[in-house]
Amino acid sequence: MKIFKYLFIFTIFLTTALIADHNNACPAKPECGCPPCGCADLKTPTISAYNFPARVDVCGSYDFFVKGTYIYWQPYEEQMLIGYFEDVTNNDREFLYMDFQHKSGFKVGAGYNFSYDDWTAYLEYTRFHATNTTSISALPPWSDEFNWHWGAPGADFFPSRERLKIDLDMLDLEFSRWEYRGKCLIFNPFFGLKGGWLDQSFRQQIDTTNGLSTAQSDSRFIGLRTGLYSDWKLCYGFSFFGKNALSLVCQKMYNIKSSFPNGSTQTYTRVMSTSQYNVTPIVELIIGAKWQSYFYKNNYHFDVSAGYELQYFWDQNYMWQNLTSENDNSGSLNFQGLNISANFDF
């Protein structure tokens, strides 16, 4: 009987403890509704196995955005030597290279924000067509002669005018995900494709009758691209941003040809090259400042930015390589200058 008595008391004690523990348990949290819109309203995640999304999230949106960019770039290409002034007596020389000026261009793009894991797709077109000129009117007082690099007209004929035309048309496709790496730091790693066309032509006219040198090369390219966009948030919608990217593209160089005069004989040498294929690295860098804001009850988002941009293309001056018929470095090409952008999310 004592055993049943003790067992009965133990059962009552255990049941009481379980009921007390159940009553002290935290009440179930209500399910979250529609997440608030706008960066300032986002809640800090407590438990997460991945980085919290940080993309623009407007209310009642179509999840599309468009972007326009004004670029004011200065191109620069290596191995664009025009020739050199020389003092034969004192063996002094001064080299003259192509003069490169800033020119205007633009970019236009459109993107879509996916609901799946907050991924973003973005396609951008870049157009930059620039014509750069250099001229020589006469020899400086200290110089005895000028040695032409593009051809040999046979004497120091002046004036001369050189023109280099560079046409860049480029497409960039990105897949990315904006994510928080801190309370005020956002990263956007991306990968995708880069492709386009890069055509160049050079023309040198020495006075009106004694020399016309021409050269050109065309190319098209496509390849893989990856990089990282970062955004350091300040206050009142202002932030600093940076972007770097690396592309490895397969590039076909074609229509490589040049023509230049041979001394005073009024004859010309014409050189042509077969098409060439290369794997070309392309490096991109942008750094600047941005302002952004939601408006109209968070149904739209707008941002503007301004920064410095650099794009560097390895080994692009096949006009020079075709002229010299040597296996020297063909000369890289870069574009650098101002980048002003406006972005609209709806």
Q: Which of 66-80, 193-207, 314-328 has the lowest mean pLDDT?
A: 314-328
Domain ranges of the chain: 54-345
Average pLDDT (203-228) is: 87
Q: Which of 167-176, 195-204, 255-264, 320-329 has the lowest mean pLDDT?
A: 320-329
Q: Which of 11-20, 154-163, 188-197, 268-277 has the lowest mean pLDDT?
A: 11-20
Structure confidence by residue, pLDDT tens digits, 274-297 = 788 999 999 999 999 999 999 988
CATH architecture of 54-345: Beta Barrel (2.40)
pLDDT reported for residue 111: 96
pLDDT reported for residue 324: 56
What is the C-alpha to C-alpha distance for residues 92 and 315, in angstroms, rounded to an integer?
Answer: 31
Q: How far is it between the farthest Cα atoms of the chain?
A: 133
* Segments of the chain assigned E as strands: 64-77, 81-87, 92-97, 103-113, 119-136, 145-148, 160-177, 179-180, 185-206, 211-233, 238-262, 267-273, 276-295, 300-313, 333-345
pLDDT reported for residue 112: 95
Provide the 8-state DSSP code for 53: B
pLDDT reported for residue 145: 83
Average pLDDT (123-150) is: 89
User: Does 9 have pLDDT greater than 60?
Assistant: no
pLDDT reported for residue 74: 97
What is the C-alpha to C-alpha distance for residues 96 and 136, in angstroms, rounded to an integer?
Answer: 9
pLDDT reported for residue 55: 87
pLDDT higher at 106 or 137: 106
Average pLDDT (80-96) is: 88
Question: Does pTM surpass 0.85?
Answer: no
What is the C-alpha to C-alpha distance for residues 110 and 345, in angstroms, rounded to an integer?
Answer: 10
Average pLDDT (144-161) is: 72
pLDDT reported for residue 20: 45
Answer yes or no: are the C-beta atoms of 152 and 95 closer than 8 Å. Answer: no
Tokens describing residue 42: 């986002």
pLDDT reported for residue 297: 84
User: Does 42 have pLDDT greater than 90?
Assistant: no
In sequence order, the 6+-apart residues with CB closer than 8 A to the CB of 47 are none
User: Does 113 have pLDDT greater than 80?
Assistant: yes
* Pairing state between β 300-313 and 276-295: antiparallel
| Alpha-carbon separation of residue 55 from 60, 112, 188 (angstroms) | 15, 11, 9
Quick one: pLDDT band at residue 28, thresholds 50, 70, 90? very low
User: Does 35 have pLDDT greater than 90?
Assistant: no
324 torsion bin: left (phi>0), alpha (psi -120 to 50), beta (else)? alpha
User: Does 209 have pLDDT greater than 70?
Assistant: no
Answer yes or no: are the C-beta atoms of 75 and 132 closer than 8 Å. Answer: yes
pLDDT higher at 227 or 28: 227
Q: Of 27-31, 53-57, 264-268, where does the model show the most confidence?
A: 53-57
pLDDT reported for residue 150: 74
Whether omega for the bond prior to residue 159 falls within 30 degrees of 0, making it cis, is yes
pLDDT reported for residue 27: 44
pLDDT reported for residue 260: 76
In sequence order, the 6+-apart residues with CB closer than 8 A to the CB of 307 are 241, 286, 287, 288, 289, 338, 339
Give me the residue label for tokens 């009987």.
1
What is the C-alpha to C-alpha distance for residues 299 and 148, in angstroms, rounded to an integer?
Answer: 63
Q: What percent of the chain has pLDDT over 70?
A: 78
pLDDT higher at 321 or 279: 279
What is the C-alpha to C-alpha distance for residues 333 and 79, in angstroms, rounded to an integer?
Answer: 10
Average pLDDT, the chain: 83
Quick one: pLDDT band at residue 186, thresholds 50, 70, 90? very high
Average pLDDT (162-184) is: 95
